[in-house]
Amino acid sequence: MRLILLAILAMSFPAMAREDMPAKAWLENMSQALREQEFKISLIQLQSDHIRPLVYIHGKVNDQEVAFLEHLNGPPKNAVRVGNTVTFIEHDQPAYSVHSSRIQGVIPAALADDVSKLEEGYQFVLGGRSRIAGRPGQLVRIIPTDTNRYGYQVWLDMDTYLPLRFDMISVDKQLLEQLLVVELLVLDEVPAILKEAYKQEWPAVMSQSDRDSGEDWQFSWLPAGFKVLIKDQHRLIGSKEAVEYIAISDGLANISVYVAKAGEAPLPEELVIRNGLSLATERVGNAEVVAVGKVPAETLSRIAKSIMLQ
């Protein structure tokens, strides 16, 4: 017991120097670690009644970031990233590549990006320390500046700054989604699988040039920090229904707004889906505006109401 206490004491000494490090510096260090270190993390993703085990391996081959994400349960579902190309390999469709700087699906891309982009909508506050995955962790709260979005908590490994736990929390402090690392291995050299992935020929990046530019939609109101990323016209993947599409984001929360011909049965005005995703509908004449995203349903409803054609 004393040995353990001594060990904890010994471990806390190098951390002393980090005592006065502000929360933002912690996040910046994490961003850098996610981009530059070579590591393998085994983690689980918790979403109400869903638990998914995943493995994420990251490294650098010939100065290019190479990453590999694997779903461990169920049918094979993998993603490979080489440089700025991400290839999704799934059982139900042929592999396809997209141009992207991160693999979507594990650690939010914003956390490996420039964290100062998040400052318009969130505040960073240093929290306590706890032990996660057998390692000392430092909590950094990412607190929303208003009630239009959810809050986040991230625990960082005090040695490597890599994330150990990531929570999404509702306005009334309920846990919506959690990423929990169960094992973190810092690698001395690039694992063979990443070298293989680097050499492999992946399908060519899907052309985005065929995106029809959409109408000039404007919003009379958007929560602070939210920006329009993309406007286009396309057909929904499942129903082939033609829609006008607008993507907005504040860095962490992404919202899709659709304008389409209203269906026979009206969609629910507000709907909260278990994994933290919400959906809101606003009917305008014979058209409907649908907003989807991981933000409170009231925010989506307000956004759907504020859309207008310039």
Partner 1 sequence: MDKLGQEWVSAAVDGEIDEHTLAELAADADSHEQWRDYHMIGDAMRGELPKTMSLDLSASIMAAIEDEPAIVAPQPAAEVSQPVRKSSGKIIPLFKQFGQYAIAASVALVAVVGVQNYNQETLVESSPLPVLNTRPLIGSASPVSLQTGAVQQNQSYTNDQVADQRRRINAYIQDHMLQQRLNNGVNIDDNSEADTTPVAQ
> By CB neighbour count within 10 A (0-12 exposed, 13-18 middle, 19+ buried), where does 280 fall?
buried
Q: Examine residue 239 and tell whether it contacts partner 1 (CB under 8 A).
A: yes
Strand order in the sheet with 242-249: 212-213, 227-235, 242-249, 254-261, 287-293, 278-284
Cβ-based neighbours of 281, under 8 Å, separated by 6 or more: 266, 267, 268, 269, 270, 288, 289, 290, 291, 304
Task: Check binding of 193 to partner 1 (CB under 8 A).
Answer: no
Q: CB 199: neighbour CB atoms within 10 A?
A: 9
Give the one residue of 1, 16, 192, 265 binding partner 1; rule: CB under 8 A. Answer: 265
DSSP 3-state of 15: helix
- CA terminus-to-terminus distance, the chain: 69
Part in contact with partner 1 (CB under 8 A); list of ranges 17-25, 129-137, 140-148, 250-258: 250-258
Q: Which stretch binds partner 1 (CB under 8 A): 6-14, 120-128, 135-143, 273-281?
A: 273-281
Residue 27 contacts partner 1 per CB under 8 A: no
CB of 177 to partner 1, least distance (A): 8
- Single out the segment in contact with partner 1 by CB under 8 A; choices: 102-110, 133-141, 157-165, 184-192: 102-110
Which of the ranges 84-92, 140-148, 182-190, 302-310 carries the binding residues for partner 1, by CB under 8 A?
84-92
| 3-state helix/strand/coil string of 187-227 | CCCCCHHHHHHHHCCCCCECCCCCCEECCCEEECCCCCCCE
What tokens were used for 129? 């320390």
In the complex with partner 1, the residue whose CB is nearer, 249 or 299, is 249
- Minimum distance between the CB of residue 109 and partner 1, rounded to whole angstroms? 3
Asked whether position 233 contacts partner 1 by CB under 8 A, the answer is no
* 31 makes contact with partner 1 (CB under 8 A): no
Angstrom distance (rounded) from CA 223 to CA 298 = 12
Stretch that binds partner 1, among 1-9, 126-134, 186-194, 245-253 (CB under 8 A): 245-253
Q: Which residues bind partner 1 (CB under 8 A)?
A: 45, 47, 49-50, 52, 71, 77, 79, 86, 88, 90, 98-102, 104-105, 108-110, 113, 206, 208, 229-230, 236-239, 241, 243, 245, 247, 249, 251-252, 254, 256, 258, 263-268, 270-275, 277, 279, 290, 292-294, 297
